[in-house]
A = this chain, B = another copy of it.
Amino acid sequence: MNGEIIAIGDELTSGRILNTTSYFAAGQLFAAGHEVTAMTTIGDDPKLIGKTLLDALARADFVIVTGGLGATSDDLTSEAVADALERPSTFYPEVLRQIRATNKAAPAEPHPSLEKLAWLPAGAHALKNETSAAGYFLVHDNKPIFFLPGVPYEMEELLVETVISRLAVWEGEEVRQVRQRLYRVAGLPETGINQRLAPLTEGQGRIRIGYYPVFPEVHVSLTVVGSEERDTDHLFGEVDARIRGLLEENLYGTEEETLEAVVGRLLVDNGMVLALAESCTGGLISYRITRVPGSSEYFLGGAVTYSNELKEQMLGVDGELLAEYGAVSPETARAMAEGIRRKTGADIALAVTGIAGPSGGTAAKPVGTVCYGLATSAGTEDCKSSFNGERWQVQEAACHKGLDILRLAMLRHDYAKNQSCQRL
């Protein structure tokens, strides 16, 4: 079914509160096979509430309205809806009883604020009986409209427990199947991925592929819909396999899996411990590695050797080598990797040295030049990259590539063959 979500509250349109309830509802509805065509956020303005609801009803199969159901004077949703749908505000004594029963702090004497909660548009039904949380639905023009509180946890509970299930019944026989997966891709630009995967959706209305650059990587979402469970599973499995085949080693993970978590898993799988020597990334790779819970199992630590002196003192890089090739050179990167590996006793050591900018670039080594060294018991290798953008972007991209070098080295077991770096 096609639905619309309307969130009401001045606190949302003034940017004081981030609207997480519409996001939550959209995700739940999507997972249940519905399509949300529009999400609208408006202030506590009765005319606008009425107009927005009528517009949504004209377009959608169902509408979810959140917010403005409270007891204070700026909560205007129920009144506005009564006016717009021409369903007179009606006093529901059983709603008031329910509020009193579940809310022990409520005063026993008649109380205008409490009573306000029991005046609903004619035809309203409470969504749930055992709770004091506001929340009702009514059917108008043969379409269900759900009214939920704006408080996130109350809204989320009612949505999951009552709305999704009522909508499922509403659909009747033809239950729509939806399968989804998120793919995380490293080392390929959005356009390159698009070129590889675009053929999968051609002439295929049931398959949808989305591309989301999350600098410096790209996420790809696959959605497969169908009416029959086994058939949908089958198509999803088929497309999933094709995507994996087309992305090859550039696919590093799915769903919530981060690149640093994948590197950590591979280190554990290979029984290796890691050390790092960072210059231009300034500690970012170390930080990314240590963000993963349990990383102390496979990460010893490292050095941030930002100055040349520290490269000599902490890593034992030869001063003459530094003078001859410069701090940003494959030679220095190799010496840094070997140095930190020797100092720490790590199995695998990565070193990064580069020019993050904005100054420090030369014609031969422009801003964005980054050299990597990778040292293992099998030997040492190096490679060189070049990144665009501002300082922080060069640092982020250099870090991401460094993590990917570690991933690919372990994936290919090339640290033993001494050629993972060159192939990247």
Contact = CB atoms under 8 A, between A and B. Distances in A.
Interface of A: 10-20, 22-31, 35-43, 45, 48, 52, 55, 70-74, 103-105, 111, 113, 151, 182, 189-191, 194, 198, 208, 210-213, 215, 221, 223, 276, 278-287, 289-291, 293-296, 299-307, 309-310, 313-314, 343-345, 356-359, 368, 386, 388, 391-392, 395
The 8 tightest CB contacts between A and B, nearest first, are: A15-B27, A282-B290, A283-B283, A283-B286, A15-B26, A301-B306, A39-B41, A283-B287
Contact of A39 (B40, B45, B280, B282): B40
A10 B343 contact: no
B306 A395 contact: no
Given A189-B105, A304-B302, A282 B293 contact: no
Nearest to A292: B391
Nearest to A357: B293
B291 A391 contact: yes
Contact of A304 (B74, B151, B210, B283): B283
Chain A contact surface mostly: mixed
A126 to B, nearest CB: 19
A16 B343 CA distance: 45
A140 B414 CA distance: 59
A212 B303 contact: no
B281 A304 contact: no
A179 B314 CA distance: 50
Contacts of A388: 103-105
Contacts of A368: 104
Contact of A16 (B19, B27, B307): B27
A148 to B, nearest CB: 15
A14 B30 contact: yes
B210 A74 contact: yes
A73 B200 CA distance: 13
Given A38-B48, A304-B302, A314-B314, A71 B190 contact: yes
Given A290-B306, A294-B359, 4 more contacts: A19-B19, A38-B52, A283-B304, A290-B395
Contacts of A290: 280-283, 304, 306, 356, 395
A305 B344 CA distance: 10
Contacts of A36: 13-15, 43
A303 B296 contact: no
Given A37-B48, A290-B395, A343 B15 contact: no
A300 B291 contact: no
Contacts of A293: 357-359, 391
A198 B73 contact: yes
A23 B18 contact: yes
Contacts of A344: 309-310, 313-314
Given A39-B12, A41-B38, A314 B287 contact: no
